[in-house]
A and B are shown apart, each in its own frame.
Chain A
Amino acid sequence: MNPRILTATVTRILQQLRHDRRTIALLVAVPAVLLSLVYYMYADQPTAPGQPSSFDRIALVMLGFFPFIVMFLVTSIAMLRERTTGTLERLLTTPLAKTDLLFGYGIAFGLAGTVQATVTSAVAYWFFGLQTAGSSALVIMIAALNAVLAVALGLLCSAFARTEFQAVQFMPVVVAPQLLLCGLFVPRDEMAGWLQAASDVLPLSYAVEALQEVGAHPEPTGTMWRDVAVVAGAAVLALMLAAATLRRRSG
């Protein structure tokens, strides 16, 4: 990796995003709209005494979902575009290292995901009165980490897609099982053993657990830090695999 080339690549990706005003508007607005939907859905639901309200429980986890889903899609399409327009082939003949490109995407879309998470969290806390025992900064940090994980998985998956249609199909394959098994719908320890085992190897489960720890404890817990480390490790691993599957030579 070369700091000058990495910086230039991050700048270039953010410039591309900046020219696409509508995407920026959607990135920022859609999560807030969906969040308000959840708020009104659960507005009249009773809350068991001593338990967090349904909205608090669901909104907290959704703050982690949005950057994960959106950044996975954005990255898959962006990387596939590099492939199909020939810019990737040209980049690979320049001094750019494969890790410059992959970490460039990780940083640029990680930043975009952080902005998204910050805006969505602000809406959740200020408009809808989201309550968490722990700090909102930790919530944003975990959501940002989710964005980076999604970028890494998107880069890896795009290596296996030849067309936009294929790339979009990876979204239900990679994202949906993680959403279903992460513990939001059924607590992980109440699932069948084999589902629990599957949940244990999916990185999003750890991100959700980390968010729930922040929701329940005023101070960051050891479990939360362990979960954060697992998610970060999974992101780095996916980036390494993406670098290994990115070939300079093709047929």
Chain B
Amino acid sequence: MEDAIAVRGLVVDRGGRRVLHGIDATVPRGSVTGLLGPSGSGKTTLLRAVVGVQEISAGTVTVLGAPAGSPPLRRRVGYLTQAPSVYADLTLRENAHYFAALHGRDRAAADAAVADVGLASAAGQLVGTLSGGQRSRASLACALVGEPELIVLDEPTVGQDPVLRADLWDRFHTLAATGTTLLVSSHVMDEAARCDRLLLIREGRLIADDTPAAIRATAGVDDLDEAFLRLIRATQPDQPGETR
């Protein structure tokens, strides 16, 4: 089956600086793919290119068989921005109803999406009064409410406790099992181990595109954290990598 995302020779310049230097990568359908890399390595930029809001200098990004950002894709792709992007002066329920309406879903679907991220009891609260972690989940609910075929999540579990993180990852896998494709950026290595495939990016270059098992094998260590450190150092031996 054709890949959900195919990136070919993607070059992106931001603020006069080259941020992505010719990325080639693919994301298979019905899987959870992790996008990992140090802070400032270009994860958000790559995700923006996939959802079609990033100006690109060269290369192609094909999503579900169409050029990234083309109008028919907008009903098939869901995007969670890194900073929560929900209306602080609306209640969570009103936010969810609005984003549901944009995707042609009804209010029941919106209320279900809010319950799915564990915020049913806060649905009537103004988003501006939610805690930081709750606000991220509110934003996540609004990205999932359209039940898109491809879900692009920029650090969805930041600020969540371990139990909630585990719940959310279970949900991601449940979605993938029904054929949804997920591309998820993260800083957390125990989340990397939960992905079907991993993309490792460093200073705008892809340095690994494989399963977690294969990456451990290549690096020759069992610990993914350590494997990443080795891969990062191997790509630039004379400079210590900027890791987080």
A15 within 8 Å of B (CB atoms)? yes
How distant is A25 from chain B, measured CB to nearest CB, in Å? Answer: 16
1/0 per position for A94-106, CB-CB distance to B under 8 A?
1110000000000
> Residues of B contacting A89 with CB < 8 Å?
53, 81, 85
1/0 per position for B44-84, CB-CB distance to A under 8 A?
00000001111100000000000001010011010101011
A95 and B102 within 8 A (CB)? yes
How distant is B73 from chain A, measured CB to nearest CB, in Å? Answer: 9
Closest to B72 in A: A95
B101 and A5 within 8 A (CB)? yes
B169 within 8 Å of A (CB atoms)? no
B55 and A20 within 8 A (CB)? no
A249 and B99 within 8 A (CB)? no
A248 and B53 within 8 A (CB)? yes
How distant is B238 from chain A, measured CB to nearest CB, in Å? Answer: 31
Taken together as a complex, chains A and B put the C-alpha atoms of A87 and B87 apart, in Å, by 7
Closest to A11 in B: B98
A86 and B81 within 8 A (CB)? yes
Taken together as a complex, chains A and B put the C-alpha atoms of A11 and B84 apart, in Å, by 22
B74 and A90 within 8 A (CB)? no
Q: How many residues of B contact A (CB 8 A)?
A: 36
> Residues of A contacting B208 with CB < 8 Å?
none
B77 and A95 within 8 A (CB)? no
A93 and B52 within 8 A (CB)? yes
> Residues of B contacting A19 with CB < 8 Å?
89-91, 126
Task: Please pick, from B83, B86, B104, B142, the residue contacting A95 in the complex, using a CB distance under 8 A.
Answer: B104
A94 and B74 within 8 A (CB)? yes
A162 within 8 Å of B (CB atoms)? no
How distant is A19 from chain B, measured CB to nearest CB, in Å? Answer: 5
> Residues of B contacting A5 with CB < 8 Å?
101-102
Task: Please pick, from A85, A249, A250, the residue contacting B85 in the complex, using a CB distance under 8 A.
Answer: A85
B146 within 8 Å of A (CB atoms)? yes
Task: Please pick, from B13, B83, B103, the residue contacting A94 in the complex, using a CB distance under 8 A.
Answer: B103
A45 within 8 Å of B (CB atoms)? no
A4 and B53 within 8 A (CB)? no
A92 within 8 Å of B (CB atoms)? yes
Which parts of B32-52 form the interface with A (CB within 8 Å)? 51-52
Closest to B49 in A: A249
B88 within 8 Å of A (CB atoms)? yes
B75 and A249 within 8 A (CB)? no
Q: A89-B81, A249-B69 are in contact. Are A12 and B53 (CB under 8 A)?
A: no
> Residues of A contacting B101 with CB < 8 Å?
4-5, 8
Task: Please pick, from B85, B89, B104, the residue contacting A90 in the complex, using a CB distance under 8 A.
Answer: B85
How distant is B17 from chain A, measured CB to nearest CB, in Å? Answer: 11
A251 within 8 Å of B (CB atoms)? yes
B94 within 8 Å of A (CB atoms)? yes
A16 within 8 Å of B (CB atoms)? yes
Taken together as a complex, chains A and B put the C-alpha atoms of A10 and B68 apart, in Å, by 28
| Complex A-B: 17 CB contacts under 8 Å | A5-B101, A9-B98, A16-B87, A19-B90, A19-B126, A85-B83, A86-B83, A87-B86, A89-B53, A95-B71, A95-B74, A95-B104, A96-B74, A248-B52, A249-B52, A251-B54, A251-B55
Taking Cβ atoms with an 8 Å cutoff, the residues of A that contact B are 4-5, 8-9, 11-12, 15-16, 19-20, 85-87, 89-96, 248-251
Apart from A4-B101, A16-B90, A248-B69, list 11 A-B contacts with CB within 8 A: A9-B98, A11-B98, A12-B90, A12-B98, A15-B90, A93-B52, A94-B102, A96-B102, A249-B54, A250-B55, A251-B15
